Amino acid sequence: TFRSARAVDDSVMSTDPVEIENRGALARLLTAVAKYYVCKSAPRFVYEAMECHGGNGYVEESGLPRLFRQSPLNAIWEGSSN
């Protein structure tokens, strides 16, 4: 994700038209890859967070159960796996 941010910064700050085109294409590609990675790994991280919190992670008063239910849907909502 840092490489994607660097590509975006380089495409904006550069004065060379070829460099702008190349960095812009890389930024577009890496943005989609980062979005895919985050959406696919979120359920695993939320599950581990619930496991770390123990019984408190399952209580509906906290936000963690909602995150656990919604994290698999991120890939559908964001359209990252299309």
Residue 63 binned pLDDT confidence (cut-offs 50, 70, 90):
confident
65 close to 58: Cβ distance less than 8 angstroms: yes
H/E run at residue 40 = helix 17-53
**pLDDT tens digits for range 38-59:** 888 888 999 898 888 877 766 7
State residue 5's pLDDT score. Answer: 79
State residue 61's pLDDT score. Answer: 76
Q: Considering only residues 58 and 11, tell me which one the structure prediction assigns the higher pLDDT.
A: 11
Q: Is the pLDDT of residue 64 over 80?
A: yes
